[in-house]
Each structure stands twice: as C-alpha cells, then as structure tokens.
Structure 1
Amino acid sequence: MRSITNFQTDLLRTFVSVVDLGAFTKAGDALGRTQPAISLQVRRLEELVGAPIINHSGRKLQLTREGEMLLSYAREILRLNDEAASYFNRTKIAGTVRVGLPNDYAVATLQGIIFEYTRRNPQISLELECGWSTDILERLGANELDVAVAMVTNERAPYLSRSWIERPIWAAAKDVKIDHTHSIPLAAHPEGCAYRARMIQALDSVNMRWRVAYTGSGVSGLQNAVVNGFGVSALTRYTILPGMKVLDDTDGFPPLAEIRVGLFYKHPRLSDAGIHLVNHVIARLDDAGISIYPVTRQNELERQ
C-alpha cells in the first residue's frame, strides 16, 4: 500500500464536521458544500487510511476503530492549523465564548487559567457556567456551550479532545483527630458526584463506617468544611489549602480511585476566540505539570 504523506486539512475538516454535527447534510450546510461532495471527501479519506472510518447504522453514524484514531489526530491538526491561520491572517480575536466547568473539580484553577486568557484578550466576552459534568456535556451537545471541561466516563465520549488523569486525595483539618471507632464524617458534594462515589467506594472496600456530615455543591464549601473540622473529603492537589493535611493508608484511609477529566468542544462550532482559548488551556495545563493527552494517546495508555 502506498505510504500516506499528507492529510489535507479540508478533508479532515469535513470528517470532523460530519462527526461533531452528526450528519453529512449538516456538515455540508456548515461548510457550504453539497451532501455528495461531503461523501466524496470522506471516501477520499478512507482511501488514504486504507480502511472504513465511518459505519452507517440507519440514520446514526458510528466510527470504526480507524475512524476514532483519525478523529483525534484530525482535531489536533485542525486546532493548530486554525490558530496559525488566525495569527498570520492577523485576525482580531473577539466575540463571546461560553465555557462550562464542573462543580466537582478544581474550578478555581481552571477559572484562573480562563480569566488569564480574557485579561490578555479584553475584547473577548466570557460566559462561564459551573455545573455537574453530565449537565455540562448535555449543554455542549445542545450547542449551549462552546468549550467544556468535565469528568470522562467513556473513552468514546463525543467531542472529547484532550484528557488527563487525577487521583483524588483524602484531606482533613490539620489538627483533627480521626477516631476510627466512630463513623468517619464526610464533607461531600451531592449524590452523583464522582468524588463522593469514590470516597464511599473506598471506605466500603475496607469496611470503614462513614456518614455524610456536610453536603455542598461548590468546592469552596467543601474546603471550608474540611478546614473547620466538619469532615474529611476527597480533593485534588490543586484544591488543598493551608490548614489541611493529607490522609493516606498510614492514617487508615484507602487510596481513592482515579478520575479522568476531559476537554470537550465541537470544532465546526468553535470561533477563533474559542480555538485560542482551547490552546491556552492546554498550554497552561502543560505548564502546571498535568499530563494531558490527545485521546489517541490516552486510549493507548488505557489498553496497556
């Protein structure tokens, strides 16, 4: 088979548009092409790949394994291509970007990264919304958000561009004394939170009794509850505050299961301002030492 030397960006843009918009016709409308032209470009990609990339099941499109791999590479190529084109075209970065962040993650850290972007680009109007991961992803799917960060429960989650792994850690007030003869007081988000589920799962696995002593939907509320000794909680290393201590197996607390977090967006719906924000977030997470992978690399790690 002839070696692939180049994937044309217009072919990749068509492919990503078909996947993100869910139909050949919608992709054609977005790109100003006819449905037959879109089909022809997808077939051209399949010729380059040497295998089918999309299976048709009724009205629903389903990616093949080769299609899933190509989609991840295509998102990366288009993301960098569009930022470079914007720079050399001297495009003025302006407009509104709607961002969704999860309640049950390091919202303050992500907010800081995003606010830095808007300070550097004051012509950007930012609309920031915090909520539960499932709600955020539903709103992204309904085109009510442009960019989202959310917990990942499925490696084939739609619109997933990058992901990284966090291992929650147990946190308690520095001066608190843990009495294992009594139920462990927990400070937790409401039911449905991935952190809450992991705390309960970990404690149940070693037959430790527990009770929910504090429930709140925001990270700051949990932090205050922990610092003031109302309970122990699962936090990330970025949300540990002065006045807290980390608990581990030497304190009788079992390790908490990992959580995968993802960066999501629909490329054909994203403006230049949105593309620049995505690249800014990725760069800042890299600077913070967070191992953030394209979906292809993350899937390879999970199969090892």
Structure 2
Amino acid sequence: MSEVSSAALDLELLRSFQAAAQLGSLAAAAQQRHRTVGAISMQIKRLEEALGSRLLERGSRGVKPTAVGEALLLESRELLRLHDGMLSRFTGRGLGGKLRLGLPEDYARELLGSVLPEFMAHHPDVLLEIVTATSGELARQLSRSQLTLSVLLDRPNPLPGGEVLWHTSPVWAGPRVGDLSDRPRLPLALHEVDCPYRALAIEALEAIGRPWHAVFTSTSIHAVEKAVEMGLAISVLDRERLTGAMRELGPAENMPPLKRCEARLHFAPHIPPASQPAAEAMAHLLRDRLTHRGPWRGAGAP
C-alpha cells in the first residue's frame, strides 16, 4: 500500500505567487511583499518545484500565469481566504488595516448600494475609504500607490495586467423627444478628460469625420444624464443607465459604432502588510459579485 504524501504547500509561497500574477511583475510583487526580486523569484521557483509545473511565463513586459498558473491562482485565492477567515475567527482578531478603493464614478452608486455595505458588515475594523474619479485619474493614483486597489476601465490610459471583471455596453444616448443627431455639429454631453466614454465618443466620431462640440461638460454622471434627458445633448452611456426619458441611437441616426471596454481589477504596486489581507478580502468580494455581470444586477443576480 502506497504511503500517503506528507507534502504541504507553503502559504507564503502562494501569497508571493498571487502578487506576481496579479501585478504582472516580479519587481512590483517584491515591493508589495517587502522582499527582494530575487527572493520573490526563488519563492516562485520553490512553488513550481513543489507542484512540478511551470506557473509563470517570463517576458520583456513582465510575467503572466501559465494555464496551470491560472488554475492555481483561482484555487489559492479561495484557500488563503478560508485560512485568513478561520484564523481571524479562532484568534478573535478580524481583518484590520486601511483600504482606499477606487471606483469609476459611473458605477459608484450601484457598488455603494450592494457590494461595499456587505464588506463593511463583515470587516468592521477595516478603515475603508472610497475614491471616485475617472478611470484615467484612478489609474494615476493607483500607480503611485495612493489607492490600495481599484476597478478601472481599460481606456483611455490602460494599466498593464489586472483581472477582467466585466465588459461594458456603451451606447449612444439621446433624448426620447426630439432629434439632435441631424445637427451639423453633433452636441455632446461629456465628462472631462481621462473619461473612457469621452474617448470612445470622440474616437468614433473622428473616425467618420463627423463634426461635434461639447455643449455640456461635467464630472458628474448624473449631470450628464440630465443633459441628455432634457434634450440638450447626446452622450455615451452604459446601456443599463438609459432612462425612460432617453433612447438608444444607432445606424438609423447615422451614429457610428462604439468599441467596448473592459472593467478590470488592479492592485497598487505597494500595499502595507497590515492591509494586505483586507485587500485580498475586498478583491475576493468584487470578483464574486461582479465577474461576468458587472454591478447592475446586484449581489443576488444569477
């Protein structure tokens, strides 16, 4: 009868592998884990030897998980979540630290009403701060580690790496009554620079040589929506944001097609050790609630 193996995985090796896979860089993982690049590389090598499989592909632009690495990434997330949760329950120490979560302003209302209250209820000792801005501004803050993690759209200034949560559905939105699409210069309601949908609108119109001008500019998605509803302008919105006072415009109104965006989850290059478990817990909840469906249908969606 064969002897049962007593081999066990080192959780610290898994944490270093997770950091490298999520950040796409050994250097970024080393900074986040407060180790040298050589130490991170050695830890991943030890993990690969223990499992008998190559986990990361190294390239000029960083690292990315192999097929085996992708599978391990998914299972190790759950393992570490269960481990950290069990430890906190039996020691009486819940998650702590400080999290600064970045959210695109367009999705803040839905996330504040579903995902984030659940996190705060389960982890009351975590000091949570929410920052809303355009994806371009959030990307800049994240790259400077002014945020802990963030949900970003992959335009107009995409960050490398990240995990796809959902694909957006941008559409041209016009008022229900009246037709602004036949104007010589298309009147637009737009966010300021660094907004993905502003970039999509301008890119699509300039590709067909369609004149336009920004008749209304605001940092508030609700103000942009109101400008469309009141018949002042056309804008690009997520299809789910269309109200009864709007209608979707398309080829019949000579509006050009729009490209789609990806909403991705990104971690900061540097996360303090005391906040790392809380960051992982937040990431797990965001993946669980948002992957493949976005924020529109809430936590109870199928």
Q: 1-side partners of 2:207 and 2:279: how far apart?
A: 43
Pairing partner for 2:287 from 282, 293, 304: 282
Residues 220 and 256 from structure 1, CA distance in 2 versus in 1: closer, same or farther, beyond 3 angstroms? Answer: same
* Match runs of 1:160-171 below 5 Å: 160-171=162-173
Counterpart in the other structure of 2:180:
178
Q: 1-side partners of 2:195 and 2:188: how far apart?
A: 13
Q: 2-side partners of 1:82 and 1:226: how far apart?
A: 46
Q: 2-side partners of 1:171 and 1:164: how far apart?
A: 21
Q: 1-side partners of 2:280 and 2:209: how far apart?
A: 47
What SS does the corresponding residue of 2:147 show, helix, strand or coil?
Answer: coil
* Match runs of 1:232-271 below 5 Å: 232-266=234-268, 269=271, 270-271=275-276
Residues 86 and 139 from structure 1, CA distance in 2 versus in 1: closer, same or farther, beyond 3 angstroms? Answer: same
Residues 251 and 94 from structure 1, CA distance in 2 versus in 1: closer, same or farther, beyond 3 angstroms? Answer: same
Contact 1:114–1:277 at 8 Å: present in 2 too? no
Pairing partner for 1:77 from 75, 78, 84: 75
Q: 2-side partners of 1:290 and 1:28: how far apart?
A: 28
Counterpart in the other structure of 2:110:
109
Following superposition, the deviation at residue 157 of structure 1 comes to: 4.0
Q: 1-side partners of 2:243 and 2:98: how far apart?
A: 33
* Match runs of 1:44-193 below 5 Å: 44-47=46-49, 48-50=52-54, 53-54=57-58, 62-63=61-62, 67=65, 72-73=70-71, 75-89=73-87, 90=89, 92-103=94-105, 105-118=106-119, 120-121=121-122, 122-152=124-154, 157-158=159-160, 160-193=162-195
Residues 49 and 290 from structure 1, CA distance in 2 versus in 1: closer, same or farther, beyond 3 angstroms? Answer: farther
Contact 2:103–2:151 at 8 Å: present in 1 too? yes
Q: Deviations over 1:61-98 (max 9, x none)?
A: x5356x46666555433432222112322152444321
2:283 aligned with 1:273, yes or no?
no
What SS does the corresponding residue of 1:245 show, helix, strand or coil?
Answer: strand
What SS does the corresponding residue of 2:286 show, helix, strand or coil?
Answer: helix
Please provide the CA RMSD for this pair. Answer: 3.8
TM-score (norm 2): 0.74
Pairing partner for 1:30 from 29, 34, 39: 34
Q: Deviations over 1:9-66 (max 9, x none)?
A: 54332334457474399469737xx8765443333345533587446x7xxxx5356x
Residues 284 and 119 from structure 1, CA distance in 2 versus in 1: closer, same or farther, beyond 3 angstroms? Answer: same
Q: 2-side partners of 1:160 and 1:135: how far apart?
A: 16
Contact 2:32–2:270 at 8 Å: present in 1 too? no
Q: Deviations over 1:244-276 (max 9, x none)?
A: 222122232222111122011259835333322
Counterpart in the other structure of 1:297:
none
| Residues paired across the two proteins, number | 278
Which shows bigger deviation, 213-222 or 278-287?
A: 278-287
Q: 2-side partners of 1:72 and 1:253: how far apart?
A: 40
What SS does the corresponding residue of 1:238 show, helix, strand or coil?
Answer: helix
Where do 5+ consecutive residues of structure 2 fail to align?
A: 1-6, 297-302
Name the % identity.
23
What amino acid is aligned across from residue 126 of structure 1 in structure 2?
L
